[in-house]
């Protein structure tokens, strides 16, 4: 199976799919409250990711963005609200919603190749087909040379690419990515942004991506969803209309980053002030304003 085969089996973003849409993720009125915490991790969050859309969720630490992703993955059950994929309710984790974790989550006892083949093996895919699909996935992340390496023999960036290949090889309806590049150095991150962008342009997978980096969001997303913290709630959505593939150095991107960052800084300040309020109670609104320092802290 080649890269071309991947693309033909999937609906394009631009052409309207004739069959039932695949990869439409609908989260409606999701509430989630973890034991012992006062503020809700998620409060009435509704989000629809259309088939083939690349949506990035950004927000300050603790805003519940990972929780949201885990609800979509079926790892966390919401207190109330519905999570659906293509009209079917999500109840448990499964390979149709493949996830890329921040700490890759590759199995250290397997080689890169065996890690990628793992999901296919669990799905009882025949050996010869498995081999072809793994080879195609390895090629897609440019790791054919490292197929036989063990996880600890790979660099951080390579591990994350294997993790992406492991998810893509399952041909999932949705790709869920939980801060996958947060632990990488800046150069590697940019490289992986380019690779992910080109993979997305080839496959047009539905992607729900969570990050705290605004730059990352603007580079990759069709649509950016900005989350509030305490309680976790959608604050705003920003459409990024720049065409793919993007030149990450273009001034459009820089400008967009500023805009979104402004938006989040306001949010962070509000949260900081709220948390400072545990020790210090503002008398008036002006009082509050003069004490909101640490701009951008936590981004």
Partner 1 sequence: MIWVLILLTWEMAYRFIGWKPWIFPAPSHLLDAFLGLLNFPTAFGDPIHRGWPRAAMEGIRLHAWYLSPLIHAPLVSGIRLLGGFALSITLGATLGLAMWRWIELDKFLGPLFLGMQTLPSVCWVPLAILAFGINERGVLFVLVMGSFFAVAISLRDGLRAIPPLYQRAGLMLGARGWRLYRYVLLPASLPALASSLRQGFSFAWRSLMGAEFVFIAVPNHGLGYLLEQGRNVSDVAQVIAVMIVMVLLGILADRLIFAPLQRRISLRFGLTVE
Q: How many of the other CB atoms lie within 10 Å of CB of 74? A: 19
Residue in 37, 79, 107, 155 binding partner 1, rule: CB under 8 A: 107
Whole-angstrom distance, CA of residue 131 vs CA of residue 117: 8
Residue in 1, 81, 84, 103 binding partner 1, rule: CB under 8 A: 103
**The one segment of 25-33, 86-94, 185-193, 257-265 that binds partner 1 by CB under 8 A:** 86-94
- Among positions 35-74, residues that touch partner 1 (CB under 8 A) are 73
151 is an interface residue for partner 1 by CB under 8 A: yes
Residue in 5, 129, 153, 287 binding partner 1, rule: CB under 8 A: 153
Q: Which of 209, 213, 224, 226 lies closest to 271 in space, CA to CA? A: 226
In sequence order, what are the residues at sequence separation of 6 or more whose Cβ sits closer than 8 angstroms to the Cβ of residue 21?
Answer: 11, 50, 51, 86
Residue in 36, 87, 108, 251 binding partner 1, rule: CB under 8 A: 108
Whole-angstrom distance, CA of residue 71 vs CA of residue 68: 5
- Applying CB under 8 A, the site for partner 1 has a residue count of 28
Residue in 166, 189, 223, 230 binding partner 1, rule: CB under 8 A: 166
Residue in 121, 236, 258, 262 binding partner 1, rule: CB under 8 A: 121
Q: Which residues contact partner 1 by CB under 8 A?
A: 73, 75, 92-95, 97-99, 101, 103, 105-110, 118-119, 121-123, 150-153, 166, 170
């Amino acid at each position: 199976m080649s890269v071309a085969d991947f693309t033909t089996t999937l609906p394009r973003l631009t052409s309207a799919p004739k069959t039932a849409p695949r990869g439409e993720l609908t989260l409606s009125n999701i509430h989630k409250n973890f034991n012992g915490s006062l503020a809700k991790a998620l409060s009435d969050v509704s989000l629809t990711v259309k088939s083939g859309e690349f949506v990035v969720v950004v927000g300050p630490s603790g805003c519940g963005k990972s929780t949201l992703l885990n609800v979509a993955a079926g790892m966390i059950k919401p207190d109330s609200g519905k999570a659906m994929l293509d009209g079917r309710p999500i109840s448990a984790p499964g390979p149709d919603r493949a996830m890329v974790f921040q700490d890759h989550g590759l199995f250290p006892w397997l080689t890169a190749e065996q890690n990628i083949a793992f999901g296919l093996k669990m799905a009882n895919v025949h050996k010869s087909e498995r081999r072809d699909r793994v080879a195609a996935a390895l090629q897609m992340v440019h790791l054919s040379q490292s197929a036989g390496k063990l996880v600890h023999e790979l660099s951080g960036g390579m591990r994350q690419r294997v993790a992406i290949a492991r998810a893509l090889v399952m041909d999932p309806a949705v790709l869920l990515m939980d801060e996958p590049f947060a632990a990488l150095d800046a150069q590697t991150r940019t490289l992986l942004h380019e690779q992910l962008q080109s993979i997305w342009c080839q496959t047009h997978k539905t992607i729900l991506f969570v990050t705290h980096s605004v730059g990352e969001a603007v580079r990759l997303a069709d649509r950016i969803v900005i989350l509030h913290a305490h309680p976790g709630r959608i604050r705003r959505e920003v459409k990024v209309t720049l065409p793919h593939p993007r030149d990450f150095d273009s001034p459009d991107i820089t400008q967009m980053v500023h805009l979104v960052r402004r938006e989040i800084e306001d949010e962070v300040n509000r949260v900081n002030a709220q948390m400072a309020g545990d020790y210090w109670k503002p008398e008036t609104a002006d009082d509050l304003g003069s004490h909101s320092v640490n701009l951008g802290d936590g981004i």
